[in-house]
Amino acid sequence: MARMNGRQWLVVVGVPVLIGGLGFLLGEVDQRYVLPTLITLMGIFLAGLLVEARGLSIRLFGRTLVDNRATFSQVEALIGLFWVLKPTAPLPATRGWASSPDLLREIADHILREKPAHVVEASSGVSTVIIGLCLQQLGRGKVVSLEHEPTYAERTRNMVRQLGLDDFVSVVHAPLVEHRINGVVHRWYDHRRADLPARIELLVVDGPPESVQDQARYPAVPLLRDRFTAGSRVLMDDGSRAHESRIAERWKQENPTAQLEFLPLEAGAWSLRFV
Ligand SMILES: C[S@@+](CC[C@H](N)C(=O)[O-])C[C@H]1O[C@@H](n2cnc3c(N)ncnc32)[C@H](O)[C@@H]1O
């Protein structure tokens, strides 16, 4: 059972004690008023608790309904992905630190429809596996996934190996280093360690984590700008967050002809398409 917080203790213990104290003081003045006053006050208090509990259960019901709907649509997206991609080993967990199934479906839809040969990803994980499975199904293409944490790079490589995706996926350990963009120093992947394609058709941005610095994902577009051509698309996860929205605005300002679109997915996403 959930522990009560300070306010709840104050209400549940403090109010009856207060009423009891009032009854005691009243008893000193006139015994006849004690019982009716105490019964009335306790009645009001219990009625208040009941109203509060009812409001709480209604709010909880509403939240559960919203959560269930959200979870159901994520399960639907996941079923769709499994049905189409038919992985031969269990996939790693989605949501939380990893991308949500609805973004993974958006990525898969894009790859299966537009058949990009050159995909790059900033941060690795379940998204890398999904991209690899799509390319495997197409029978062509390659994704280079930049990962700053050696442990996660190795973890993703193991999944890639287990699923037989080595021909389509390359996970590169690229520590975060300083890059100067328009005179400002940013920490981003050391992408020079990777053999990045001259033309990037799809860039998936889900790192570095926001704890690295403000607008940590911003460098992705300015640093790789020369590799985007007409039709190239950038998909950035966590689009509902303030920093990512600001990053998307900056990308658009710096690339006025590109089409920027917000995708209303579980965590929100930004799509920037070069024309
Ligand atoms: C948002 S996660 C990337 C997730 C990846 N795109 C996916 O869909 O699985 C960004 C970075 O966090 C790190 N990371 C991944 N899982 C983590 C975890 N469970 N706890 C802490 N850091 C994690 C990795 O270094 C990863 O590159």
Let me know: does 181 contact 250? Beta carbons within 8 Å. no
Q: What average pLDDT does the segment 11-23 reach?
A: 89
**Phi, psi (rounded to 5 degrees) for 93:** -65, 150
What pLDDT, in 10s, does the model give residues 72-87?
Answer: 999 999 999 999 999 9
What pLDDT, in 10s, does the model give residues 188-212?
Answer: 999 999 999 999 999 999 999 999 9
99 Cβ below 6 A of ligand 1 = yes
Can you say whether residue 115 is alpha, beta or left, with left for phi > 0 and alpha for psi between -120 and 50 degrees?
A: left
Q: Please, what is the average pLDDT of the chain?
A: 95
109 Cβ below 6 A of ligand 1 = no
Better-predicted residue by pLDDT, 24 or 235: 235
Determine the distance separating the centroid of ligand 1 and the alpha carbon of 45, expressed in angstroms: 49
User: For tokens 């985007």, what's the residue?
Assistant: 228
Q: What is the pLDDT of residue 12?
A: 85
Residue 1 has pLDDT above 70, yes or no: no
Q: Which of 78, 97, 176, 187 is the best mutation target for the ligand 1 pocket, counting ligand atoms within 8 Å of the beta carbon and taking the most?
A: 97
Judge if the upstream peptide bond of residue 208 is cis by omega within 30 degrees of 0: yes
pLDDT category, 233, cuts 50, 70, 90? very high
86-273: CATH topology is Rossmann fold (3.40.50)
Which residue(s) pair with 259 in the sheet?
273
Let me know: does 108 contact 134? Beta carbons within 8 Å. yes
Determine the distance separating the centroid of ligand 1 and the alpha carbon of 124, expressed in angstroms: 7
Can you tell me the distance from the alpha carbon of 252 to that of 97, in angstroms, rounded to the nearest whole number?
A: 26
147 Cβ below 6 A of ligand 1 = yes
